[in-house]
Amino acid sequence: MIKPEQLIIFSFLFPFLYAETHYRFKYFFSWLKKSEPEIIADIPSRIQKGHQLPVLLIVKDADKYETELINIEIHDRENLIFTQDLNIQLTQTYFDKIFFINTSEIETGQRNFNVKIKYRIKHKTKTCTNDNHRGTKHKALPIYISTDPFPNLDGCIYGETHSHTNYTSDQLEFGASLKSTSVLAGSMGLKFFCATDHSYDLDDEENNYLKNDPTLPKWQKFLAEVEQENNKNTNFKIIAGEEVSLHNYKNKNIHCLIYNSEKFYPGNGDSGEKWLHPFSELTINNVLDDADDKTLVFAAHPVEPVPFLQRLLIRRDNWHIEDCRHSRLNGLQFANGGPQKYFEEGKNLWIKLLLEGHKLTGLAGNDAHGNFARYRQVSFPFIKMEENYFHLFGVWRTGVYLDSSAISTVSILQSIKNGNCFITNGPALQFKAHSNDGVSSMGSLSENIKSLDIKANSTEEFGNINKIVVYQGLISDKSEKVILSDKLSEPKNHYEFDFILEYQSEKGYYRCEVETELNKIALSNPIWYK
């Protein structure tokens, strides 16, 4: 049985999942606990007009509280736009169902939907709006209905590189299923997502998150389900991975993202599962020295601040520059869906490493734990819930350029490994170099670069482009200098520019940033020269 102090730790560890509210200590009061399952509705944060809008309904823990779903209504503001009788009897631990709404008659722009669910427990009929939690405001779910798809350029697809599913499930939280996550992600305009559930959840028994199983049935089931979903869907892919807790050079707990490994890497140091023993099984070097060539390893949210209690009780820490210098590290996932200042701090660490000559790919993700429209969390065990709009699935994206039109996990991972990708929460960006030897893409190494080719575009949803900056990284000086800064007097949705360069005398790199009038940005990965 888990101890009280362990649950308190958990409440500070996992702030972004759907809220599990049933667990409590024996004989201990919980204001959040209700004698009914958790019922949650969710929708993507954006969709293109005319596309089918998926509305996700999740019911968790109906095995504890047998429930009948009677009816669902979906309202655009006060207007009823969908209703369906359900008459579904539930007795399982996890259930979800997606209802599709035609958006062709719905106005574009920012909208707010309410999802009303009628259900019956022990012959008593009840109704909830958007969720049935105590302590939440049951506010409408926001969505942007766009006239356009995501800004795009030839050969580019978008994906979410850090997200969690219902393979993460414990005393305080749970995620959405792989299948439902794929549907909502695809409706936004994404073509892939990386399922990176925590290492300390993937080693649990299938039906008991309080016990580990060394035969790893949950991990094996996870890999099998990812493969099954990918085989069914030729135009959308799930990258199997895990978020592993390991030790940094200070012997404290940090997280890394591991993609495309059939081998399971354990990491329980900050799980709270072993009270007063906050030590992970592996170090950064253990993982990086062991990973094979097809496996990618990235630093996860390397510099986001760690709360005091996490530092004190479970030895959580950040990545330091000393941790990032291993030649086998593929890059940093420093865009993480949080406040802008944390993004800037992560970018600064990445630039420092680039200026040391480390060819590290920058990635964007959101650390999304199943939340699309907003997150709801247990902020203090048994007492308080909290809601916010950070870390929403797909808000920050990685734009990946593929060598072929076919979308496959192999081609996605190869482009990420090569660095032929960019970070964005809005505009699209393509950055290439021209030399006597031909054209070089982001992430590549070239000699005698003669010119840089910049292409960018945006849409009304994200605002017109109003600024382009190109930086030259001078490794010998450990500094960057601006070689092009174009503040557009008249912002526009397309930008193309060919920039002629002077001769490069020492090794370094070029990188590009784009900004829109709505403060949405895109960052290229560097093109290296020697």
- Which tens digits make up the pLDDT trace of 163-189? 999 998 876 678 899 999 999 999 999
At residue 256, the pLDDT reads 98
Nearest to 245 by CA among 293, 284, 211: 284
Distance set, CA 105 to CA 42, 99, 108, 114 (Å): 21, 17, 9, 17
- Which tens digits make up the pLDDT trace of 463-519? 999 999 999 999 999 999 999 999 999 999 999 999 999 888 889 999 999 999 999
Q: Indicate if the pLDDT at residue 28 is higher than 90.
A: no
Span(s) in the chain for CATH 2.60.40.1930? 426-529
- Which tens digits make up the pLDDT trace of 304-319? 998 887 888 889 999 9
Q: Indicate if the pLDDT at residue 9 is higher than 80.
A: no
Would strands 479-492 and 465-474 be described as parallel, antiparallel, or unpaired?
Answer: antiparallel
At residue 352, the pLDDT reads 98
At residue 17, the pLDDT reads 45
Distance set, CA 90 to CA 8, 57, 165, 417, 484 (Å): 31, 13, 21, 44, 61
Nearest to 90 by CA among 72, 69, 115: 69
pLDDT band per the 50, 70, 90 thresholds, residue 376: confident
At residue 384, the pLDDT reads 81
CA dihedral in degrees (190, 301, 336, 298; nearest 10)? -20
Q: Computed from CA positions of residues 75, 174, 248, 445, in that sequence, does the dihedral angle turn out positive or negative?
A: negative
At residue 4, the pLDDT reads 44
Question: What CATH number has the domain spanning 4-400?
Answer: 3.20.20.140
How does 194-211 read in b/e, with b if 16+ C-beta sit within 10 Å?
bbbbbbbbbbbeeeebee
**Across all residues in the chain, what is the average pLDDT?**
92
Q: Which CATH architecture has domain 426-529?
A: Sandwich (2.60)
Q: Indicate if the pLDDT at residue 23 is higher than 80.
A: no
Q: Indicate if the pLDDT at residue 10 is higher than 80.
A: no
User: 30 versus 138: which is more confidently predicted?
Assistant: 138
At residue 20, the pLDDT reads 59
C-beta atoms surrounding 396 within 10 Å: 27
Give one DSSP letter per residue of 403-429, joined into a string.
SSSS--HHHHHHHHHHT-EEEESS-EE
Amino acid, res. 43: I
Least trusted range by pLDDT, from 47-51, 303-307, 354-358: 303-307
Joined tokens for residue 173: 């939280």
Phi-psi region of 315 (alpha: psi -120 to 50; beta: other; left: phi over 0): left
At residue 209, the pLDDT reads 81
> At which residue do the structure tokens 């062991």 appear?
290
Percent of the chain with pLDDT over 70: 94
Nearest to 272 by CA among 1, 5, 28: 5
Q: Computed from CA positions of residues 346, 348, 351, 353, in that sequence, does the dihedral angle turn out positive or negative?
A: negative
- Cβ neighbors of 208 (< 8 A, separation 6 or more) are none
C-beta atoms surrounding 471 within 10 Å: 22
At residue 13, the pLDDT reads 45
Percent of the chain with pLDDT over 90: 81
Joined tokens for residue 351: 């630039």
DSSP E strand boundaries for 321-457: 331-335, 361-364, 375-380, 384-388, 397-401, 421-424, 428-435, 438-440, 445-446, 449-457
Nearest to 158 by CA among 457, 428, 513: 428
At residue 29, the pLDDT reads 63
At 160 the three-state DSSP class reads: strand
Give the span between the Cα atoms of 78 and 100, in whole angstroms: 19
Average pLDDT over residues 327-343: 97
- Which tens digits make up the pLDDT trace of 224-276? 999 999 999 999 999 999 999 999 999 999 999 999 999 999 999 888 777 67
Average pLDDT over residues 108-115: 97
Average pLDDT over residues 102-117: 97
Joined tokens for residue 222: 């996870």
Span(s) in the chain for CATH 3.20.20.140? 4-400
Average pLDDT over residues 11-39: 64
- Which tens digits make up the pLDDT trace of 414-440? 999 999 999 999 999 999 999 988 999
Give the span between the Cα atoms of 115 and 43, in whole angstroms: 10
Task: Find residue 100's DSSP bridge partners.
Answer: 54
Joined tokens for residue 307: 């709360």
Give one DSSP letter per residue of 456-472, joined into a string.
EE--TTT--EEEEEEEE
Phi-psi region of 391 (alpha: psi -120 to 50; beta: other; left: phi over 0): left
At residue 174, the pLDDT reads 81
> At which residue do the structure tokens 């420093």 appear?
334
Q: Indicate if the pLDDT at residue 90 is higher than 50.
A: yes
At residue 12, the pLDDT reads 45
